[in-house]
């Protein structure tokens, strides 16, 4: 494993950073206030090839690796956590399952426009009664002739309000042991019977679009089944393993932003006749933040590198997601502390970092679930 970025990765980092500074960061505060979505930035990200980083050129992608993708998520998330979440979800949840498990026709139809940045896609796993326990999925898909008829409800689905299609998980049968067979089906967002409402009033990542989806007798061709009908469960576990690397990268981006803001403020703020960065109590906080950010980034890059090598990466992705999301929350909290009362004011950004970071301990598997995954890898 290389501890230095390659020339291409460094160039990508510089490009995404300067793009995010110009096109994303200036809008972050306003979008947090209004729960808006930076459509313009997504359009430009598409033009720059950022929505296709980990996909081969034959599918409209840029042919990059997972490390490059993680670098882009970090830089975008550093500029705006909500936009970073939508970016990570668009690639890891909306597009990647079709790349991993889709037929050639499905890739041409759905993946290519996403990789080119012309469309967005979503992944609808969570339901009101099935979150961590995704095996408890109640949405049903029944084969009727050449079509699946789907009924159910999904909640908190990222980007669904802007998606061309949603990959929906649904029960398609029962195994001999009585457990549900869960399959994944591609549902066009404009299919009759699909209702998408995006009215959640969220604590953080407010620049990310989050929606409820109701499916009432939605009919899709049976060719829209994604991958093996019997293996929907293991397919989404693999998808989530990959997604965790991107959530961890987003967490590193927010933590890095918190560190930079806190350091800058500590140097400027004068109390007792000197800048507060001269107080050891403040220095220790900054030193701990910097150390944790560095460790979290190393974990992200290691898990991404393992994935790129075709090696098992589930344990490392869970470790990266767990450690980076908790680092992000701690770093944002300390950044507020270093800012004192100013940190409690929205104008100074750091309270937004904390609200955004909190989601990362919940989405794509809570911290408790990450610990369970890691413990299972340890053989518990």
Min dist CB 18 to ligand FAD, Å, is 28
Q: Report the Cα 110 to chain-centroid distance in Å.
A: 19
Q: Which stretch binds ligand FAD (CB under 6 A): 36-44, 59-67, 124-132, 249-257?
A: 124-132
Compute how many other C-beta atoms are within 10 angstroms of the C-beta atom of residue 300: 33
Residues 56-86 as b/e (b if ≥16 CB within 10 A, e otherwise) read eeebbbbebbbbbbbbbbbbbbbbbbbbbbb
User: Segment near ligand FAD (CB under 6 A), from 9-17, 67-75, 243-251, 359-367?
Assistant: 359-367
Residue 307 CB neighbours (<10 A): 23
Q: Distance between CA atoms of 62 and 53, rounded to whole angstroms?
A: 5
Pair of tokens at residue 143: 């084969």
Interface stretch with ligand FAD, choices 202-210, 254-262, 298-306, 329-337 (CB under 6 A): 202-210
Residue 264 CA, distance from chain mean position: 28
Nearest distance from residue 207's CB to ligand FAD, in Å? 11
Binding mask 14-33 for ligand FAD (x = CB under 6 A): --------------------
Binding residue for ligand FAD, selected from 19, 59, 87, 123, defined by CB under 6 A: 123
Is 364 among the residues known to form the active site?
yes
**Integer angstrom CA distances of residue 139 from 126, 142, 148, 175:** 10, 10, 12, 16
Shortest reach from residue 251's CB to ligand FAD, in Å: 14
Smallest gap, in angstroms, from Cβ of residue 230 to ligand FAD? 20
Helix, strand, coil percentages (3-state) for the chain, rounded to 5, are 60, 20, 25
Under the binding rule (CB under 6 A), the answer on residue 185 touching ligand FAD is no
Q: Is residue 121 close enough to count as binding ligand FAD by CB under 6 A?
A: no
Binding mask 203-242 for ligand FAD (x = CB under 6 A): --x----x--------------------------------
Is-contact 352 204, C-beta < 8 A?
yes
**Cα–Cα distance for residue pair 223/246, rounded to 1 Å:** 29
Size (the chain), residues: 380
Determine the Cα angle at 49 with ends 65 and 228, to 5°. 60
Q: Is 370 in the site for ligand FAD (CB under 6 A)?
A: no
What is the per-residue binding string for ligand FAD in 131-160, x denoting contact by CB under 6 A? xx-----------------------xxx--
By CB under 6 A, residue 246 contacts ligand FAD: no
* Nearer residue to ligand FAD within complex by CB, 330 or 339: 330
Separation in Å, CA 319 to CA 236, 245, 248, 298, 377: 18, 9, 9, 11, 11
Compute how many residues bind ligand FAD; rule: CB under 6 A. 24
Cβ pair 83, 24 in contact under 8 A: yes
**Residue from 20, 24, 67, 93 in contact with ligand FAD (CB under 6 A):** 93
Window contacting ligand FAD (CB under 6 A); options: 68-76, 125-133, 268-276, 350-358: 125-133
Q: Is 364 in the site for ligand FAD (CB under 6 A)?
A: yes
**Residue numbers at the binding site for ligand FAD (CB under 6 A):** 89, 93, 122-126, 131-132, 156-158, 202, 205, 210, 359, 362-366, 368-369, 372
Q: Which residues are catalytic?
A: 364
């Amino acid at each position: 494993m290389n501890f230095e970025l390659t020339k291409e990765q460094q160039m990508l980092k510089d490009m995404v950073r300067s793009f995010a500074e110009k096109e994303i960061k200036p809008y972050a505060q306003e979008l947090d206030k209004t729960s808006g979505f930076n459509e313009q930035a997504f359009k430009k990200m598409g033009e720059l090839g950022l929505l296709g980083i980990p996909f081969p050129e034959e599918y409209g992608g840029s042919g990059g690796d997972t490390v490059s993708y993680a670098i882009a998520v970090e830089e975008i998330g550093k500029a705006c956590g909500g936009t970073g979440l939508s970016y990570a979800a668009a690639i890891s949840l909306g597009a990647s399952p079709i790349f991993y498990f889709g037929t050639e026709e499905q890739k041409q139809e759905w993946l290519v426009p996403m990789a080119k940045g012309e469309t967005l896609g979503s992944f609808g796993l969570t339901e009101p009664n099935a979150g961590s326990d995704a095996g408890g999925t109640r949405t049903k898909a029944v084969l009727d002739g050449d079509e699946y008829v789907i009924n159910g409800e999904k909640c908190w689905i990222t980007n669904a309000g802007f998606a061309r299609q949603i990959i929906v998980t649904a029960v398609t049968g029962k195994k001999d042991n009585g457990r549900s067979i869960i399959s994944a089906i591609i549902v066009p967002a404009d299919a009759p019977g699909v209702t998408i409402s995006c009215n959640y009033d969220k604590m953080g990542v407010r620049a990310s679009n989050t929606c409820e989806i109701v499916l009432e007798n939605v009919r899709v061709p049976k060719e829209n089944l994604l991958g093996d009908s019997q293996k929907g469960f293991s397919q989404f576990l693999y998808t989530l393993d990959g997604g965790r690397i991107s959530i961890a990268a987003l967490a590193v981006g927010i933590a890095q932003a918190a560190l930079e803001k806190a350091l800058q403020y500590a140097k400027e703020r004068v109390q007792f006749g000197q800048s507060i960065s001269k107080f050891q109590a403040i220095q220790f906080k900054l030193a701990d933040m910097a150390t944790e950010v560095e460790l979290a980034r190393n974990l992200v890059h290691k898990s991404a590198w393992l994935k790129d090598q075709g090696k098992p990466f589930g344990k490392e992705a869970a470790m990266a997601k767990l450690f980076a999301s908790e680092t992000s929350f701690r770093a944002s909290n300390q950044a507020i502390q270093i800012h004192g009362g100013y940190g409690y004011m929205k104008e100074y950004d750091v309270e937004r970092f904390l609200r955004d970071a909190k989601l990362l301990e919940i989405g794509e598997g809570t911290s408790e679930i990450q610990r369970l995954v890691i413990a299972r890898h340890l053989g518990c």
